[in-house]
Chain A
């Protein structure tokens, strides 16, 4: 049963990884503009459709 020490440590490490990923995302400013990227993503498609049609 001492496997439990190992498993809990692993699960904590995984959780910590996500925690630091979140902090890093906030730091890099990903949450500052939560609207423009969602629109920008759709643009590329429309332009490509246009060029392929031509």
Chain B
């Protein structure tokens, strides 16, 4: 049978399952409906820009009812007047030009939407609509219906969500660049020192213009260097900013003195150039990923509102308004926002994201449930026993570790070298000044200032930002997104690796199934499949997918007992599937494995064992890394996988199970106390504390746009096996920085030769400074590109 891709979403559809509409194949009703909607409004150009751009729309019944609540809507809106409202919605699915086109043509689908504008890098759409004619709920439903379900969560209601990006660095670069270009032209005639008539006549005019241009450079563009140098000195630290600030100040004062006393042209072009290059380095290091957030906490995971039941009435209230004793309604696939007790209904809860348990847990009425789990079956009612901020999961965020800023504690490589550098420069300045004071007191002061000018560590200050900036960019291309440059330096120092299990080294929603027991005939398989068809238990669903295709056999006397299993009669055989106790399984069974047992007519046949599916390349990666690092697996799950991991992972890997979120955090703290530099990789909310505590916390995520806990970096799960390469490149880039330091010291010694012998003319300064900076930048860029070539190889 030939499979054809779905016209809308590209999923393969078989001859048997496909739906044909307008001579096009669709994999499911959802995709067909989207096409119909677009077809009605003449929007089928959607399919012209990209092939199969769409996504199967998800079932969302009742999910957005809370958008009827005015308070909630007001919190989400960006602008609100009597008639028009504007909202910015985040839509993680935005991925191609067709998406932009369809979202910007929303007004054709609903006439009350006046405009919509997509910001592609941020994956948001800004919609203006007539609020008297259409509600926010309708718009969200419309978007969901065409497969663009917006992501609305608690984070979006926070008041300070619109933190403006700081543009002052751009302005400073503009000022410095403007002054640099113009002073260069104005200084140029004097470099050749031609005693021409007209030059002599105008040079004073030129000098004063250059002087005026340099004032904003020193007072505005370079102000941060003075501030941080002063701050550093107050804490008795000789940061790289100290010699820079000193150099800028001396350059400006000496140039001003020369110009005012009419003794020379000064070094104003070098001054502006220096500030310009330094600021460019800062900009280059600041790589931001506008579609990612490194500061996420539970707020961006939790829903905004929840359905409260009071008497017979259902109403939507905000999560923060839930108080102890409230009765809440949780639908299928919804998150449990609060710790509570199940009042009505039996349920299965998927805690994989919160505790690391791989298998959903069955809960019955009267059981206590924790916030953060996903409800997987039917509709249940719970009674809140705490408020949101007091819940078991959210309490983790009250730990001090979330209020610390790792960057502040961190002393970077440039600063640690500049301490010695500054001292040496000051000694050279004093010694040469003293020497000339004895031999030729007239030029003593010139020599001292020349030393401070030429020693201004421009090349030195640029090597780290350009190396690290480039590495951040390269990593980003290979799907490791770093928060800032200092993460690379920390990565280079790591000696201990800690992995979470569920979702990090195993794939979520993917399980390997193996069968143990008497061999199954094809007839038995058929019977099993028939019984499983009626069950919605996640294990039943994956087992159903696992068994081979078969014809539809009728099942009679089908019953499902929550927490036990399913039972049914097929062709006069009574089939039971489920827990060990439900199927007369032998008693000596291992307790901690996930298995579905199976019996036919009261005789036990065997069991299907579910094993975690490990990500591709995980074993090789552990093998490679264990040669260099201490390896640990810290899991919140039970010990079911222990035997398997002991077998497959390198011998010296430490395996620890049943870890609560705080346990993980404390464990890492203990490791750090014994002088270890810890890298933590995790994916769930339960790892959030450990990620924050570790020296580098990397959040592993299958879809970086949707959600990942806060960390120093976000790694796309598909490239987890490249981790050894990333770590190696981080180490090599630090060596590159050190090599480029050597290069810039060389330039400094050449400059110091001119300075100490009293020959530093403006033209030498003007050549030497940009030359050293540019060659260092070129050097580090080439080297980092070279060392990262290994990432391209599979």
Residues of chain A touching chain B, judged by Cβ–Cβ distance below 8 Å, are 1, 4-5, 8, 12, 15, 19, 22-23, 26-27, 31-36, 39-40, 42-43, 46-47, 50
Contacts and interface: CB of A to CB of B under 8 A. Distances in A.
A36 B209 CA distance: 41
Contact of B104 (A1, A23, A32, A43): A43
B118 A36 contact: yes
B121 A35 contact: yes
Given A1-B201, A19-B178, 14 more contacts: A5-B205, A26-B167, A27-B167, A31-B170, A33-B121, A34-B121, A36-B100, A36-B119, A39-B120, A40-B104, A43-B100, A46-B45, A46-B48, A50-B45
A22 B181 CA distance: 15
The A contact surface, by secondary structure, is helix
Interface pairs A-B: 3 shortest CB-CB: A36-B120, A35-B120, A33-B119
B667 interface: no
A41 to B, nearest CB: 11
Contacts of A1: 198, 201
B153 interface: no
Nearest to B96: A39
A12 B209 contact: yes
A26 B209 contact: no
A15 B213 CA distance: 12
Nearest to B100: A39
B100 A22 contact: no
B64 interface: no
B291 to A, nearest CB: 11
Contacts of B48: 46
Nearest to B175: A19
Nearest to A50: B45
A23 B100 contact: no
A26 B170 contact: yes
Given A36-B119, A47-B45, A23 B174 contact: yes
Contacts of A46: 45, 48-49
Interface in B99-128: 100-101, 104, 117-122
Nearest to B165: A32
A15 B182 contact: yes
A8 to B, nearest CB: 7
B101 A43 contact: yes
A19 B209 contact: no
Contacts of B117: 36
Contacts of A8: 205, 209
A50 B165 CA distance: 40
B171 interface: yes
A22 B122 contact: no
B178 A40 contact: no
Contacts of A34: 121
B486 to A, nearest CB: 25
B174 A22 contact: yes
B182 A12 contact: yes
Interface in B58-76: none
B235 interface: no
B413 to A, nearest CB: 31
A42 B97 CA distance: 10
A21 B49 CA distance: 35
Interface in B121-145: 121-122
Contacts of B100: 36, 39-40, 43
A48 to B, nearest CB: 11
B202 interface: yes
A49 to B, nearest CB: 10
Interface residues of B, number: 26
Contact of B122 (A15, A19, A26, A33): A33
Interface of B: 45, 48-49, 97, 100-101, 104, 117-122, 165, 167, 170-171, 174, 178, 181-182, 198, 201-202, 205, 209
Nearest to A43: B101
A26 B178 contact: no
A5 B49 CA distance: 56
B202 A4 contact: yes
A26 B171 contact: yes
A46 B181 CA distance: 43
A50 B182 CA distance: 51
A51 B777 CA distance: 52
Contacts of B202: 4
7 contacts: A23-B174, A26-B170, A35-B121, A36-B120, A39-B101, A43-B100, A43-B101
Contacts of A23: 171, 174
Nearest to A39: B97
A43 B101 CA distance: 7
A19 B121 contact: no
Contacts of A39: 97, 100-101, 120
A31 B170 CA distance: 11
A52 to B, nearest CB: 14
B120 A19 contact: no
B86 to A, nearest CB: 15
Nearest to B48: A46
A51 B101 CA distance: 16
A30 B434 CA distance: 55
Nearest to B170: A26
Nearest to B181: A15
Contacts of A27: 167
A50 B42 CA distance: 11
Contacts of B174: 19, 22-23, 26
A47 to B, nearest CB: 6
Nearest to B119: A33
Contacts of B120: 33, 35-36, 39
A1 B101 CA distance: 59
Contacts of A35: 120-121
A50 to B, nearest CB: 6
Given A1-B201, A23-B171, A35-B121, A15 B104 contact: no
Contacts of A40: 100, 104, 118
A40 to B, nearest CB: 7
A10 B184 CA distance: 17
A26 to B, nearest CB: 5
A38 B209 CA distance: 40
A39 B95 CA distance: 12
A35 to B, nearest CB: 5
A15 B201 CA distance: 24
Contacts of A4: 202, 205
A23 B174 CA distance: 8
A32 B88 CA distance: 15
Contact of A15 (B45, B167, B171, B178): B178
A2 to B, nearest CB: 9
A39 B198 CA distance: 53
Contacts of B121: 33-36
A36 B99 CA distance: 11
A3 B181 CA distance: 22
Contacts of B181: 15
A38 B174 CA distance: 24
B284 to A, nearest CB: 16
Contacts of A47: 45
A5 B167 CA distance: 35
A46 B100 CA distance: 14
A33 B118 CA distance: 9
B98 to A, nearest CB: 10
Contacts of B101: 39, 43
Contacts of B119: 32-33, 36
A32 to B, nearest CB: 7
A39 B167 CA distance: 25
Contacts of B209: 8, 12
A32 B170 CA distance: 12
A12 B540 CA distance: 77
